[in-house]
Chains A and B, each alone.
Chain A
Amino acid sequence: MSNDIHVRVRKLVGDLVPTGVRKVAAADRIVEDLGYDSVSIVELALALEVEFDLSDIPEEQAMDLVTVGDIEGLVSRLTPSQP
């Protein structure tokens, strides 16, 4: 996985934590550990789309997104690898 994606996803997720900006780890769970609620999840999804130019994400690829690491994996699969 590209280190750049890994860093950018963690920065974005950490910046949008509802209780305030914090450092996040791959194992942090989005809802249980970071406190994301339904509104902030939508906000995060829209921010990810803009940041990584994502569109038409197949449902089967986006199932079971529980942790920050899961999001990193998804973005990495959907983002063309850099030369």
Chain B
Amino acid sequence: MTAPTAPTAEPRTTEAAEVIDILGTEGTEVTDATTGPGRDVRAHRLPGSRDLYNRWEKQQWSIADVQVHRDRERWLALRPFARGQLFEALAELEVGEVCVSRTLSGLVTYAPNDADRIYLSTQVADEARHVQFFQDYLHFAAGEEQTISEAGQQGEDSAYGRLFEPRLRASIDRVGELDGDLTAWHIAIIEYHLVTEGELAAAALHSTRQLARRLELTALQEGLGNVARDESRHLTFGLAVTRRAVQQGRAQTVYDVYRDATRLAARVLVNPERRAVAPALPTALVQRAAQMRAQWDLTKDRALRQLRLIGLPELHQELAVAWEDACTRAMAEYAEIWGAPHPVAKVAENAKGASIQ
């Protein structure tokens, strides 16, 4: 049995700090227990599964303590536009959490060692708590009788549920079909931990926390902070095991899967099947496009930083090009479906036209 790692207040390594920063868990103390004196920091720059288990024990929280009903009065006072924006963001997060909570057990069963399995078991508990938190918030603060997941409509109403979840589910099913094949397991980890959690959920949490702060919803701010802290552990695990896969000679597979899943994440964000809010007033259209573009850029930056942390920095430019190409294709698809350019494309066209004149 591995000896427990004592809690430490020693400085974080650059990379561990970067993992924390990548999730935007500001104000969250996540110590790196692997960097004490006498340890080979070059070999242990990302925490191991046991360290992450220890963090999990120290970072417990409960939905009851958050008291989601505190936000009810404030929620009722929100104007319809703000309420709509926030509701949409929370519903998407809830669907994402439900989807991953339904699939994670496959990764636990076929984890390649006990330390990974035990860590992943803690994550199962986290995902259950996240689902419950979002559902409670939507019920008791937002006053929804039924969430999208409870109504069984995530396939129609959620971009993640429609576009990404089927791919993740297929990858996890394949791990079982191949009786725990390690490459298949790593592929599922990349799609689950690095892309679903590290790119899509992290970017969504970041923008939803900003909105919660702006709208002064204190229970939501607290709950999302707790969720973000949990996600930080999940992502760290994903980065560590994926880096292990790279070091074990699976670099090409890792990159191919990561690139394809990241392209799909771009499509989820552009969400061509859904008509985007596009104000007729040019000033407002520019603002709206800038908001969307900022969310996409934030996700792209996370994807690129993760690439470096898993040990593939040389593919930075290639991934950046793949991301932009995926966004451009999704916007072209949008124009085809709706007969009008996507707001981001429209603003870019206007800017191009203005610079030519």
Q: Which chain B residue shows the least CB distance to A36?
A: B287
Contact stretch, chosen from B109-117, B242-250, B276-284, B327-335: B276-284
Q: Decide if A49 is an interface residue (CB 8 Å cutoff).
A: yes
Q: Please tell me which one of the listed residues B81, B281, B288, B350 contacts residue A48 in the complex, with CB atoms under 8 A apart.
A: B281
Contact between chains at A39 and B214 (CB < 8 Å): yes
- Is residue A32 within 8 Å, beta carbon to beta carbon, of the partner chain? no
B79 close to A (CB within 8 Å): yes
Question: Are A38 and B287 in contact, with the CB atoms below 8 A?
Answer: yes
Contacting pair B350 A42 (CB below 8 A): no
Known: A46-B277, A49-B279. A41 touches B284 (CB 8 A): yes
Can you pick out 26 interface pairs between chain A and chain B where the beta carbons lie within 8 Å of each other? A37-B214, A38-B290, A38-B291, A39-B85, A39-B211, A41-B283, A42-B81, A42-B287, A43-B79, A43-B81, A44-B284, A45-B280, A45-B283, A45-B285, A46-B277, A47-B81, A49-B280, A49-B281, A54-B281, A55-B280, A56-B280, A57-B280, A59-B282, A62-B282, A62-B283, A63-B282
Q: Which residues of A contact B (CB under 8 A)?
A: 16, 37-39, 41-49, 54-57, 59, 62-63, 65
With a CB–CB cut-off of 8 A, which chain B residues contact A47?
81
Q: Which 3 pairs, one residue from A and one from B, show the smallest C-beta to C-beta distance?
A: A45-B284, A45-B279, A45-B281
For A38, the chain B residues whose CB sits under 8 A away are 287, 290-291
A-B contact count (CB 8 A): 55
Residues of A close to B280: CB separation below 8 A: 45, 49, 54-57
Most buried by A among B280, B287, B350: B280
| Given A57-B280, A57-B282, A62-B281, residue A41 in contact with residue B287 (CB < 8 A) | yes
Interface residues, chain B, with chain A CB atoms under 8 Å away: 79, 81-82, 85, 211, 214, 277, 279-285, 287-288, 290-291, 350
Q: Look across to chain B and name the residue whose beta carbon is closest to the beta carbon of A64.
A: B283
List the B side residues contacting A43 at CB < 8 Å.
79, 81-82
Question: Contacts A38-B287, A59-B350: A16 and B79 contacting too (C-beta < 8 A)?
Answer: yes
CB distance from B277 to the nearest CB of A (A): 7
B residues within 8 A CB of A16? Answer: 79
Q: Which of A45, A49, A57 has the most CB of B within 10 A?
A: A45
Which residue, of B79, B284, B285, has the highest number of chain A Cβ atoms within 10 A? Answer: B284
Q: A16-B79, A42-B291 are in contact. List 6 more A-B contacts (CB 8 A).
A: A42-B81, A42-B279, A43-B81, A43-B82, A45-B280, A56-B280
CB distance from B355 to the nearest CB of A (A): 14
B288 close to A42 (CB less than 8 A): yes
Q: Which of A37, A47, A57 has the most CB of B within 10 A?
A: A57
Which of chain A's residues have a CB closer than 8 A to the CB of B211? 39
Chain A hits for B81, CB < 8 A? 42-43, 46-47
What residues of chain B lie closer than 8 Å to A57, measured between beta carbons?
280-282
Please give, as numbers and ranges, the residues of chain B lying within 8 Å of A45 by CB-CB distance.
279-281, 283-285
In the assembly, what is the distance between CA of A42 and CA of B287, in Å? Answer: 7
Q: A15 — nearest CB in chain B belongs to which residue?
A: B79
Q: Are B284 and A42 in contact (CB under 8 A)?
A: yes
